[in-house]
Every structure is written in C-alpha cells, then in structure tokens.
C-alpha cells in the first residue's frame, strides 16, 4: 500500500492506494476516530461486487453500516437523487459525525460528495473509488457536484474527503471501455507534468490494459501525486489547477456535439491530439513529441481521429469551443504543451488557428 498526501491545512487527507486494501478500510476509519456507524452509498453495478467486503471490514471494528444503492449511470447525478439520499440518510439515523462512504465510480463520488457537503451542513465523507477515472481524477481534489437541466456539474461544492481508499483489485471487474476512459486522464497527467511517468506509460501501457496490478498501482500513484500537489496549491481553481484542463477545451466541445455518445475520456484524447497540433503550429511543441503522445493514446485504445458524425459538425464544434466557459475577452483559453511534461496556460491562441487545426484534421 502506498500513501499520497493532499496538504490542505486542517482539511489535509491521504490517498491510500494498493491491492486488496478494501479489507483495511474499517481499521483506518477507526484510526480516524470514527466508531459505531457509517453509511455506504454505491450503485447497482458496484454494490453486488464490493459492498459486502467493505461492510465486513467495517464490522470487524464494530462499525455498523447502512448500504444505500442508487441505479448506475450519469442520469443519477441530479438534485432529485440527492433529495432521495437525504431522506435515506435521515432514515438511517445518520448524524453529523456519521461518515458517508462513496463506493463506486465518479458518479457515485460526485453525488455522494455533494450530499455529504450539504446534509446537516456537512458530514464526514470518504471516497472509495472503484473506476480508474475515479481513482486518478474525480476522487481527489474535493470537487463535488450534480448535473441540472442540461448543464453538467452546475450545482456543487468544494468539499474534501477525509480519506481516499483506492483498491486496485476492484479494477479487475471494471468494463474495458471504462478502463480506456480513465486512461485518457492518466495520459493527460503525464503529458502535462511528468515526462518520466510518460515514458513509463510508453513502456507499460500494454501491461496496464492487461490489468497488471503493479503497473496499475504505479499509474494511480503517479497520476494522483501531481494532482494532490496542484490541489494543495490551488484548491479552488483560480490558477494552476487549470492545467488539468489540457485536452478539455476542445474535448468538451466534441463531447457535447456527440450528445455525450463519445465518452469523456475519448473526447479528452481527441482534445489532446488537436490541442497538441495547435502547440505544434505555434512552434511550441516539437512534432515528434506530439506523435509520441498520439502513439500512447492509441496504445490505450483511445481515438486520435474524429468519428465521421462529429467530423460533419466541425462548424458547431468550433462555435462551442468559442463559447466555452474558459473564453476570456474573446480569447480562447488553452492548456498547451511546450514539451512532454511541461504545460502552460495561454489566452494567445487565435480562433483562426483553432479552425485550421480542426478543419485540417486528417482521418486515419
């Protein structure tokens, strides 16, 4: 088991990463001073796989658990589901001091985090991520939210967990497309901040996709360590934390145009490919380095060329990019690479260049 620390003064917490560590969750909660009872919120896919193991681990230290299950899927990340969870927490006699554990992917994590931040003005919250995306991205950093109307993550709160417990063994049951989805954020973390880690991915992506536990553990540690540092220095995304949006300015537009048929990870992969081309055309990023990133994206089973149905809508993609929330004074904000492992934030990309890259995108 390895530990990554998120330093946030009195809100500091640890990310514990290892194989089989679900069994240790109870004793770690006890060490944190929790006793008597806890609530686990999970979804219908994850509950039959891991809820009993987590419950058992808590029972060993005499913590009684209520398990609350929600249907799986992004459609559950709503105020309506949050409302039903408040009722279920009250029915379970959850008190101010009762820890609420989010067992599942990013949907369960974001929703449970939001509910924990608001129920009784805040109850202790523990992340037990079971998808790769949740382990490397959503469980770290304290962004919690629900979707509302057609807007994603529009209602939420910054609310840090007390602990993150990432059991690598749970990835064995993760559907392959979800593993691929999470790998986009892993590649992004390496590309923006850690060349050594990127080289590790070049050498080990095949083992990772074959679920080699040691490689996956390394990947989760290497992805969360820089995110933990960034969050410590810029918890509320007023500056440095924005580098995490590499690939996302264009990625979000592609995701939206596809009406979310393209998964987030695939869209981010495509966004990275396009944004790297912008950096190449600006003379910032050597072409050969952009090609190395494309190669790793392909090794992870992620796309590098626009699907036809998106390709036909390039005009709309361009309009959406221009209207992204990161646009400042008519300038589109991008996180570009100077080199693998070195990112910078710029408002200096002309819309014409974005258009040129988008419309010149070769098909493979």
Ligand X SMILES: NC(=O)c1ccc[n+]([C@@H]2O[C@H](COP(=O)([O-])OP(=O)(O)OC[C@H]3O[C@@H](n4cnc5c(N)ncnc54)[C@H](O)[C@@H]3O)[C@@H](O)[C@H]2O)c1
- Interface with ligand X by CB under 6 A: which residues? 43, 45-46, 49, 72, 74, 77, 104-108, 110, 130-131, 133-134, 137-138, 141, 143, 153, 170, 173-174, 178, 181
Residue 201 CA to residue 218 CA, distance in Å, equals: 10
Name the residue nearer to ligand X (CB basis): 112 or 277: 112
248 is catalytic: yes
Q: Which of 37, 143, 246, 263 is catalytic?
A: 143
Name the residue nearer to ligand X (CB basis): 102 or 274: 102
37 is catalytic: no
Q: Which of 185, 217, 289, 294 is catalytic?
A: 185
Q: Which of 37, 204, 246, 248 is catalytic?
A: 248
Closest distance of CB 363 from ligand X, Å: 27
Name the residue nearer to ligand X (CB basis): 174 or 280: 174
237 is catalytic: yes
Closest distance of CB 265 from ligand X, Å: 8
227 is catalytic: yes
Sequence-ordered list of residues with C-beta below 8 angstroms from that of 91, at least 6 positions apart, any chain: none
Q: What angle do CA 270, 76, 108 make, to 5 degrees?
A: 75
Q: Which of 14, 199, 202, 237 is catalytic?
A: 237
255 is catalytic: no
Q: Which of 204, 252, 289, 294 is catalytic?
A: 252
Q: Which of 69, 222, 264, 276 is catalytic?
A: 264
Closest distance of CB 87 from ligand X, Å: 22
Name the residue nearer to ligand X (CB basis): 178 or 294: 178
185 is catalytic: yes
Residue 166 CA to residue 217 CA, distance in Å, equals: 9
Closest distance of CB 132 from ligand X, Å: 8
241 is catalytic: yes
Closest distance of CB 105 from ligand X, Å: 2
Q: Give the number of other Cβ atoms within 10 Å of residue 203's Cβ.
A: 10
Name the residue nearer to ligand X (CB basis): 147 or 275: 147
Closest distance of CB 142 from ligand X, Å: 8
Name the residue nearer to ligand X (CB basis): 257 or 349: 257
Q: Which residues are catalytic?
A: 121, 143, 185, 227, 237, 241, 245, 248, 252, 264
């Amino acid at each position: 088991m390895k530990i990554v620390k998120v330093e946030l003064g009195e809100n500091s917490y640890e990310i514990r990463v290892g194989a089989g560590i679900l069994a240790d969750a109870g004793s770690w909660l006890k060490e944190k001073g929790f006793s008597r009872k806890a609530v686990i919120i999970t979804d219908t896919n994850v509950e039959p796989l891991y809820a009993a193991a987590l419950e058992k681990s808590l029972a060993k230290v005499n913590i009684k658990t209520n398990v609350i299950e929600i249907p799986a899927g992004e459609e559950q990340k709503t105020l309506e589901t949050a409302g039903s969870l408040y009722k279920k927490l009250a029915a379970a006699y959850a008190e101010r001091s009762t820890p609420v554990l989010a067992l599942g992917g990013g949907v369960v994590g974001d929703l449970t985090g939001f509910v924990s931040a608001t129920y009784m003005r805040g109850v202790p919250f523990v992340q037990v991520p079971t998808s790769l995306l949740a382990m490397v991205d959503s469980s770290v950093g304290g962004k919690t939210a629900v979707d509302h109307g057609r807007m994603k993550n529009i209602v939420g709160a910054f609310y840090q967990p007390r602990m993150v417990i990432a059991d690598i063994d749970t990835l064995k049951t993760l559907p392959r497309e979800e593993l691929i989805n999470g790998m986009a954020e892993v590649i992004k973390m390496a590309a923006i901040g850690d060349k050594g880690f990127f080289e590790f991915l070049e050498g080990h992506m095949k083992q990772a996709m074959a679920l080699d536990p040691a490689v996956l553990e390394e990947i989760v540690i290497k992805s969360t360590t820089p995110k933990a540092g960034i969050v410590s220095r810029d918890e509320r995304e007023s500056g440095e934390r924005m580098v995490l949006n590499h690939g996302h300015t264009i990625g979000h537009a592609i995701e939206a145009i596809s009406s979310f048929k393209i998964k987030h990870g695939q869209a981010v992969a495509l966004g990275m490919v396009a944004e790297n081309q912008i950096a190449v055309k600006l003379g910032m990023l050597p072409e050969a380095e952009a090609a190395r990133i494309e190669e790793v994206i392909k090794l992870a089973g992620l796309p590098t060329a626009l699907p036809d149905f998106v390709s036909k809508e390039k005009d709309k993609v361009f309009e959406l990019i221009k209207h992204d929330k990161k646009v400042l004074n008519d300038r589109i904000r991008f996180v570009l690479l100077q080199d693998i492992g070195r990112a910078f934030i710029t408002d200096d990309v002309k819309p014409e260049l974005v258009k040129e890259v988008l419309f010149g995108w070769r098909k493979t």
